[in-house]
Amino acid sequence: MDKVLVIIPAYNEALNIERVVGEVIKNHPVFDYVIINDGSTDQTADICRNHGWRIIDLPINLGLAGAFQTGLKYAHRHGYRYAVQFDGDGQHRPEYILPMREKMDEGYDIVIGSRFVSEKKPFSMRMLGSSILSGAIWLTTGVKVKDPTSGMRMFSHKMIKEFADGLNYGPEPDTISYLIKQGAKVSEIPVTMDERILGESYLNPVNAARYMGKMLFSILLVQSFRIRNRG
């Protein structure tokens, strides 16, 4: 199957999910999709089922890593060539999926939808953290990733299998850094991302600082001792 699977992890996204999935289905029907309902306690699952959308219900909240890995297991089982992480909060734009796929066709293993290919990062504590992570990835791999915290990432069939089989593969900057060190070819294409319109993001200032610190520690130290899953 020479198609892209759009994986949409969703946790309590009842305010956004109808708009997000509806846009993908209506305006980009060439792409297959699957919604991973990550143990939502609101009406996310009911909205999806009422529309007859393709949904996998997780009985408890596994977090982004567990939800996305579920989607990649689905992609691997059904033989998709590419899979893209597409957040259920409305920040990602589906019109960038095709350009990401075209870049993947050049032989890359991972393509990141980057806000900063040609734009400078605005000055903020969060962007300072992003810049520090970029520097840490460059220091440990020799590869410059300009938007390491972008959640819009497309993976090749080889990467789909690796994520599907691995127990500790989260779609996070430290895993991207690790895979680069293992030989994965990574590229970025320029994208624009929208602000969340409804609902609240998990990454408030305190959680964002903790996240950046955790990723930095992992990239600089933990990944050096990580054992690769070989299936």
pLDDT digit string, tens, across residues 151-162: 899 999 999 999
Residue 132 makes CB contacts below 8 A (sequence gap 6+) with 212, 216
pLDDT tens, residue by residue, 185-221: 999 999 998 865 555 555 456 677 787 888 888 888 7
Q: Of 89, 68, 77, 64, give the one whose Cα is nearest residue 14.
A: 89
Q: What is the pLDDT of residue 225?
A: 64
pLDDT tens track for 177-187: 999 999 999 99
What are the residues whose beta carbons fall under 8 Å from the beta carbon of 1, sequence distance 6 or more? Answer: 78, 79, 80, 81
**Containing H/E element for 36?**
strand 32-38
Query: Phi then psi for 6, rounded to 5 degrees?
Result: -90, 115
Evaluate whether 196 touches 89 at the Cβ level (below 8 Å). Answer: yes
